[in-house]
Structure 1
Amino acid sequence: MNKSLIALSASMLLGLGMGSANAAEGKAAAQELGCTACHAAQNKLVGPSYQAVSERYGGDKAEILSIIKDNVKNGASGNWTDVTGGTPMPPQPNAVGKTDKLNAIADWVAGMAE
């Protein structure tokens, strides 16, 4: 594989928030907490993609973390109706209080802003 192709591949992965140890931790935390049942990195599933979340909030990690914490505690409805068709996000009691994991997810998601 030539060097320019390797460099391009690496920059694409970094641009998607997938090129660091923090990204690996965030992805693993999302999988462990069950977030990936409804959310994917780049494609809408039941809920919006992580990349869409990052872009909507300008990659602002603090804002993304605040939203994640609120949504796992209280659920969410109406914020992504254009994407979800109105399907609400129920509270996720298994994720409440898992600050380290939620922080890792927020870090990963914030890194996906273009």
Structure 2
Amino acid sequence: MNVSHIHRHSARRDAPVQSVTTAAAGRSHDLRSRQRRYLWMMGIRVVCLPLAVVTTGWLRLIFIIGAVVLPYVAVVIVNAASRPSHGVIDTVPPPERPELPPAMPQPEQK
């Protein structure tokens, strides 16, 4: 096995990749971000439920409203369509190629 062959391929993986499209992020990325937002909101709701039982007065009312209204708000926010960002394709400069050194002057022949 040629070791220089392996080194050449690993160096290429570390190089930045040029995007060839201005398309939006993939569906899996969108789904993951929506799930994350929904889980955060439902986590806040889970905290509001026991606090509504433990507290009294106007603070209890705030926690009850949070526990009741938050699921609706979470669904509306998560299902809101994300708008694709309009990107610009950047040009990538070609890699520098090694150059040969200048030629040595030839001795004059008689």
By the TM > 0.5 criterion, same fold? no
User: So what's the TM-score if we normalise by structure 2?
Assistant: 0.26
Higher relative contact order (CA 8 A, sep 6+): 1
User: So what's the TM-score if we normalise by structure 1?
Assistant: 0.26
CA radius of gyration, larger in: 2
